[in-house]
Amino acid sequence: MINIIKKLGPGLLFAGAAIGVSHLVQSTRAGADYGFTLIWALILANIIKYPFFLFGPKYTMATGETLLHGYKKMSKYYLVAYFILSIVTMFTIQTAVTIVTAGLAIELFGISSNITTWATIITIVCVLILIIGRYKFLDNLMKFVIILLTLSTVVAVFFAGFNSNTSIEINQVFPRTEVGIIFLAAFMGWMPAPMDVSIWQSIWTLEKTKKEDSFKIKDALFDFNTGYLTTIILGLSFLSLGAFVMYGSGEVFSNSGGEFAKQLINLYTSSIGDSVFLIIAIAAFTTMFSTTITCLDASPRAMKISSELLNLDGFKSYNLWIFLLSAGTLSIFIFFISEMGSLVKIATILSFITAPFYAYINYKLINSSHTPKKFRPSKFINILSVIGLFFLACFSLWYITCLLYTSPSPRDATLSRMPSSA
């Protein structure tokens, strides 16, 4: 068992990056607002996107290089497109996950209710940890976090279901209201994670092979599948927790970071008991902290590699990109927090629009001459990939149409309305 745990790493980092806003916020909100009627959406999104995330570690193990290297081999313009899109979105995404983490810190520590103060503290701590420990620390941290969160969440769901008087509605539905349609689009679009996270997974896999010579493709695929399955289980668990505790109660999640954090923790304590408040608060905070530090590590790694491949002198330093990302994130907190909703909406739209792009180039790369033949996908995976490409393309168009031709209400539960202030 210990040897199996030691082999895990990049897959759990993927899970750590994914199990953040999309799970703690979106999945829980889905259960609270719609009960169990959107389980189909969660499962479908994970199945459709599976091949494109899988291609990340598979290509790296087959070639000894990241997806970014493969993009350049196919066309320099693919890499340029990724670089530009990352510049546009990475600051907003980092700010978004830091907001939720800061809200949980306020609830856990109670020292200050100022979300900017906590965001600054959290960012500085993350930067110091990454500069000192880098991958090895992340690798070890994530194993602890995922185990702790999985156990606490499963236990909470069990007790919530046992104590709940809410009737379980298993009929699956398609939302028909404007708010419901927009929420469904955001829920599926960000489940389990934005498509460019496949690049992060590829980078972490390469880093794992550098640290451990014994890490082979069999280990990489087992690691990835373990992490991916974990995201599905926890997605279903958070949805169930929201459904058992809040569905039909008339209570809705607040858009305030501090209040949202309190409500999230109360989902657990109301199920298991107040005696576990500290444990649950630590588990929730640790989860979002791990997401924050994972994102803060991944984007600079990707930008460093991209800069090297594009021969951008002066931008080839991992530490430089960490500094730029941290400074940009804190600048948003200080100067543009009132515009956070609009900034996140822009990042969300770009994530939806670019999902088919990343899926296509991942699919094209893994089936190209740049990938050794024996490592190319099976016929089944290729069929699933084609279906997924069609779905993602239509889905992106649908989402943009929803945004253009609907008028969200104050209860709009898209990412543009995620917790943004204390």
Among 76, 24, 384, 68, which residue's Cα sits nearest to residue 231?
Answer: 24
3-class DSSP state of 256: strand
Pair 14, 200: CB distance under 8 Å: yes
Q: What is the mean pLDDT of each run of 10 residues along the chain (422 residues)?
A: 61 77 77 88 94 95 96 95 91 85 81 85 91 71 74 78 70 78 79 90 90 83 90 88 75 61 68 64 77 90 96 92 95 78 68 87 96 94 96 85 61 39 35
Q: What is the dihedral of CA 186, 190, 194, 198, to 10 degrees?
A: -150
Cα separation of 104 and 115, whole Å?
Answer: 10
Q: Cis omega (within 30 of 0) on the bond before 356? A: no
Q: What is the dihedral of CA 202, 206, 208, 210, to 10 degrees?
A: -170
Pair 30, 187: CB distance under 8 Å: yes
Pair 56, 228: CB distance under 8 Å: no
Rounded to the nearest 5°, which phi and psi values hold at 71? -60, -45
Cα separation of 33 and 417, whole Å?
Answer: 15
At residue 418, the pLDDT reads: 42
At residue 325, the pLDDT reads: 96
Locate 144 and state its tokens.
């602890």
Other C-beta atoms within 10 Å of 313: how many?
8
Cα separation of 309 and 142, whole Å?
Answer: 29
- CATH fold of 2-417, please? Amino acid/polyamine transporter I (1.20.1740)
At residue 391, the pLDDT reads: 92
